[in-house]
């Protein structure tokens, strides 16, 4: 079944006219397409970043982004948060603690978010190395059954209503030690999906170290960085990692698994959390 055929339009999707070529014929149809809008993150009246994102779960996104970029150290430093429609997109207005705002002013830099990769505007190679060293995973000596990875990844499909409708978004999920998914968030950008997950867990007051993160994308440097900063002990990706991501995961104490699908996976760092005898 094609995206849009027989599907209701979930939040974050819209119907657009299209021409569908099938069995040698052109048919006029409507297709469900994922929404992608500019979202401005505004702190105490100052616009800090503009990200391209799916217009759903934006409160989670704002909190997760703020924590992941270390704009705030704790959710309680955000005193007020409002999502407002704007002429060109959406503005998320946040009022943050004075200490957090002072730190933000010291480090503020202009950036434009994209659905691809980037280094979030670090100013030099030295700054980049400092950023890499700052990420530290939590979870101590947490152990996970390898089957929990497979169970969590297999369960992701049933929780991705926006992807089922449009075929155009990524998802990030959080599973407990048994692999049961307790929270899933979707977005056109894989980084955004992980930010939304981090924000959702913080709002619900879950301890991210009590489970692990699964993502329906590759594991890039920034995905590992966000996972480590959020305190996940393990990140499991359906696709491959990059070499830089593996190096960061090793330094940060994060267990990184890739190609988690079809009953198989590859562990690239800190395999002790998946304690089984090698075969």
Whether residue 117 lies in the annotated active site: yes
The domain boundary, picked from 124, 155, 179, lies at 124
Please tell me the distance from the alpha carbon of residue 239 to that of residue 247, in angstroms, as a whole number.
17
205-250 pLDDT per residue, tens: 999 999 999 999 999 999 999 999 999 999 999 999 999 999 999 9
What is this structure's pTM?
A: 0.89
> How much is the pLDDT for 112?
41
- CATH code (residue 96): 3.10.20.10
Position 31 in a domain: no
Q: Domain check: are 69 and 165 in the same one?
A: no
On the question of pLDDT at 110 being above 70, the answer is: no
Position 20 in a domain: no
- CATH code (residue 181): 3.40.140.10
Asked whether the beta carbons of 234 and 176 are under 8 A apart, the reply is no
Percent of the chain with pLDDT over 70: 85
Q: pLDDT band at residue 142, thresholds of 50, 70 and 90? A: confident
The domain total for the chain is 2
Please tell me the distance from the alpha carbon of residue 114 to that of residue 27, in angstroms, as a whole number.
33
Position 185 in a domain: yes
Based on its alpha-carbon atoms, the radius of gyration of the chain, rounded to whole angstroms, reads 19
170-210 pLDDT per residue, tens: 999 999 999 999 999 999 999 999 999 999 999 999 999 99
The domain boundary, picked from 124, 157, 186, lies at 124
Position 164 in a domain: yes
Share of the chain residues as helix, strand and coil, in percent rounded to the nearest 5: 35, 30, 35
Burial environment of residue 89 by CB neighbours within 10 A (0 to 12, 13 to 18, 19 or more): middle
**Catalytic residue (choose from 117, 127, 133, 183):** 117
Q: Domain check: are 153 and 73 in the same one?
A: no
The chain-wide mean pLDDT, for the chain, equals: 89
Domain span holding position 50: 37-124
Q: Which residues are bridge partners to 17 per DSSP?
A: 30
Asked whether the beta carbons of 235 and 241 are under 8 A apart, the reply is no
Q: How many residues does this entry show for the chain? A: 279
């Amino acid at each position: 079944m094609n995206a849009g055929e027989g599907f209701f339009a979930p939040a974050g999707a819209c119907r657009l006219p299209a021409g569908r070529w099938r069995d040698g014929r052109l048919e006029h149809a409507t297709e469900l397409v994922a929404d992608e809008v500019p979202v401005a993150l505004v702190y105490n009246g100052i616009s800090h970043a503009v990200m391209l994102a799916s217009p759903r779960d934006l409160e989670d996104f704002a909190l997760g982004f703020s924590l992941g970029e270390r704009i705030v150290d704790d959710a309680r430093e955000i005193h007020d948060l409002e999502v407002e429609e704007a002429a060109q997109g959406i503005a998320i207005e946040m009022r943050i603690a004075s200490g957090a705002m002072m730190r933000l002013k010291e480090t503020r830099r202009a950036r434009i978010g994209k659905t691809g990769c980037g280094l979030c505007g670090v100013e030099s190679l030295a700054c980049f190395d400092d950023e890499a060293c700052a990420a530290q995973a939590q979870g101590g000596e947490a152990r996970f059954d390898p089957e929990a990875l497979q169970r969590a990844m297999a369960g992701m499909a049933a929780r991705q209503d926006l992807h089922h409708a449009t075929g155009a978004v990524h998802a990030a999920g959080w599973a407990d030690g048994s692999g049961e998914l307790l929270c899933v968030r979707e977005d056109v950008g894989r980084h955004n999906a992980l930010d939304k997950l981090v924000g959702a867990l913080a709002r619900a007051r879950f301890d991210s170290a009590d489970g692990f993160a699964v993502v329906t994308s590759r594991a890039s440097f920034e995905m590992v960085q966000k996972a480590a900063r959020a305190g996940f002990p393990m990140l499991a990706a359906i696709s491959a990692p990059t070499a830089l991501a593996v190096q960061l995961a090793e330094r940060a104490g994060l267990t990184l698994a890739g190609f988690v699908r079809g009953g198989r996976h590859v562990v690239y760092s800190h395999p002790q959390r998946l304690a089984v005898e090698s075969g």
